[in-house]
A and B are shown apart, each in its own frame.
Chain A
Amino acid sequence: SQTIHQWPATLVQPVGSPLSLECTVEGTSNPNLYWYRQAAGRGLQLLFYSIGIDQISSEVPQNLSASRPQDRQFILSSKKLLLSDSGFYLCAWTGNIFAEAFFGQGTRLTVV
């Protein structure tokens, strides 16, 4: 069966520090991968999506970047965090049939 792992679960970082959030998927190949953010605890804002290794699309201009060094690994990064980067970050993947999406458990990022 397929599983998605996302870590860390919580993170407190000072303004100006770097960020690296990692997401891996097991049990499937060539997934579509996504990073979402929930700033207000409600809506899902799509940040990045990837259809393959080194194929990243950015939905919203921002202080963040994403990379996909391996087929089932998706990394969200920042060189210098801003206070406005605080939020709940979710990784997700979809397979080949009907766009059914599976989410990780999320990372609560607090920038102080």
Chain B
Amino acid sequence: GENVEQHPSTLSVQEGDSAVIKCTYSDSASNYFPWYKQELGKGPQLIIDIRSNVGEKKDQRIAVTLNKTAKHFSLHITETQPEDSAVYFCAAPEGSARQLTFGSGTQLTVLP
């Protein structure tokens, strides 16, 4: 099955700085890599995803990069704001199955 590792587990940055969260996966057949943001007391929400046919995708201040050879993908948040503070999860599917395996999460704190 798929194994997803996520680093770091906690990350503190100053407002306006960039934040980077990294994940590695084990199943080379995986073809879809989403990122979720979970605010306190709420369910995770999809914020960006990337398919395996592209190496980078950007949506305003957030971007995701994918290196299929190395089997890792990263979330980049630029110009961080206090409202970016949350737990972020990466995920990868079990090969062609519809079930996602999640990373262990990163608590991002943006300091004002």
Return chain A residues, CB-CB under 8 Å to B31.
Answer: 98
Decide yes or no: A42 and B104 within 8 Å by CB, A32-B99, A98-B93, A101-B91 being known contacts: yes
By the criterion of a CB under 8 Å from any partner CB, how many residues of chain B are at the interface? 25
Cα A34 to Cα B43 with chains together (Å): 13
User: Count the A-B residue pairs with Cβ separation under 8 angstroms: how many?
Assistant: 59
Q: Is B98 an interface residue (CB 8 A)?
A: yes
Cα A92 to Cα B34 with chains together (Å): 14
Q: Is B21 an interface residue (CB 8 A)?
A: no
By the criterion of a CB under 8 Å from any partner CB, how many residues of chain A are at the interface? 24
B44-52, B64-72, B77-85: which lies at the interface: B44-52
Return chain A residues, CB-CB under 8 Å to B91.
Answer: 101
- Please list the residues of chain B having a beta carbon within 8 angstroms of any beta carbon in chain A: 9, 31-32, 34, 36, 41-46, 49, 51, 87, 89, 91, 93, 97-100, 102, 104-105, 107
- Please list the residues of chain A having a beta carbon within 8 angstroms of any beta carbon in chain B: 6, 32, 34, 41-44, 49, 88, 90, 92, 94-96, 98-106, 108
